[in-house]
Amino acid sequence: MHCPSRFAPAGQLDELVWRDLCEVLSHPDELARALERAHGGHWLPQELQARRENLRKGRASLSQQLDRLTQAYLHSIIPLPEYERRRRELEQRDHALAEQEGQLCAQAERHEEIAGLAIAIDDFCARVRGGLANADFAQKRQLIELLVDRIIVTDTEVEIRYVIPTSPSSEHVRFCHLRTDYFAHPDPVGLSHRELTVQQVR
């Protein structure tokens, strides 16, 4: 039985993969953007600060309204049922703002984590770039096994999927040893772009 796959010249493919890998390592900013996309984007520090300040002012305003409402009730300006109704409304609004504040804090923590990972990626790329030009076969193979998740060839299109270590410990672990699900269920082919993944080993 003949294999239905088309012939793929290994030499040309090896050269293409190595050239593309060098390009990826030469532009860590692209890796940082891929990391941000993987985490659903990010808020700039000033945007986070502005939103946090708006929420703080909103909750402070609600607290003042609640104090005035209580004073109005104590001075018999409004009846008890009206006081209870309006108090519940203010407390519900404050609870909603508190939830938004909690979500914002979580976003800020993720932003700090992403920033730290981006620095680690940039450091890794800087250390590796210096030896790319004079890398021998064994060194090239070591880098490809570490950084390339998989290569999908479809007709004249080549898709290269990368993983980038974010800590010294993950620089010695091949990604395929951490994730084997795609061996049984490969993704559909036909793409012609890079897919950049961040590898973290705890």
Q: What is the pLDDT of residues 109-144, one digit of tens each?
A: 777 777 777 788 888 888 888 888 888 888 888 888
| 149-200 confidence digits (pLDDT tens) | 888 887 778 888 888 777 776 666 655 444 444 444 443 322 223 444 444 3
Give the predicted TM-score (pTM) of the model.
0.51
The sheet with strand 148-154 has its strands ordered as: 148-154, 157-165, 195-199
Domain map (residue ranges) of the chain: 10-39+132-199, 45-128
In the structure encoding, which two tokens stand for residue 19, read together? 């050239």
In the structure encoding, which two tokens stand for residue 160, read together? 């290269």
